[in-house]
Amino acid sequence: MTTSDKVEDMIAVMSRSGWRITDQRRTLAKIFADNEGFLSPKDVYDLMKDKYPGVSFDTVYRNLRMLSEMGALEQFYFMEGGLKFKGSCFKHHHHHLICLECEKTITFDYCPMKQSMDLPESFKIMSHRFEIYGICGECQQQAE
């Protein structure tokens, strides 16, 4: 998938959610399309303020949270690094193995939600997240 395809996918999610597509929001989509890894709100703010010196950290953070809620971004919480975001994969449902050392992300198709569950109070699941944190093989070899 090309960078422009990723940007357009994010723009489409914003549009479907009723957002007006501004130059700043297009830039935000491009930042995530250009970066395969995780970005903290501070990382995104630093990249945004280069082009938009008047942008506030609160505005960037609020937009990241809203983009995550609408499904354009995935958010992850790292014990040491705090909250970070990554562009969503729109192709198929999957989950992640995340290395705590290098933050490498490996997707895998196993989904625990496919197992039958007896939920209390007729609870209806609308969405879910499942991540496994550990140390990737490469980082394990480097540690030896």
Over residues 35-90, the pLDDT tens digits come to: 877 899 999 999 999 899 999 999 999 999 999 888 888 888 776 777 888 887 65
* Domains, the chain: 3-87 (1.10.10.10), 95-143 (3.30.1490.190)
Q: d(Cα 96, Cα 107) in Å, to the nearest integer?
A: 5
Backbone φ and ψ for 117, nearest 5 degrees, come out as -130, 140
Interior CA angle at 20 toward 76 and 18, to 5°? 70
Residue whose token pair is 């895998």: 108
Strand, helix or coil at 16?
Answer: helix
Is residue 111 a known part of a binding site?
no
Q: Does residue 89 have a known ligand-binding role?
A: no
Residue 44 · residue 5 · CB < 8 Å: no
95 is in an annotated binding site: no
Q: Which residue has the higher pLDDT, 18 or 104?
A: 18
Query: Are 28 and 63 a contacting pair, CB within 8 Å?
Result: yes
Provide the residue type at 29 as one letter.
A
Q: Is 93 annotated as a binding residue?
A: yes
Residue 19 — φ and ψ, nearest 5°?
Answer: -80, 140
pTM score of the predicted model: 0.71
Amino acid at 91: K
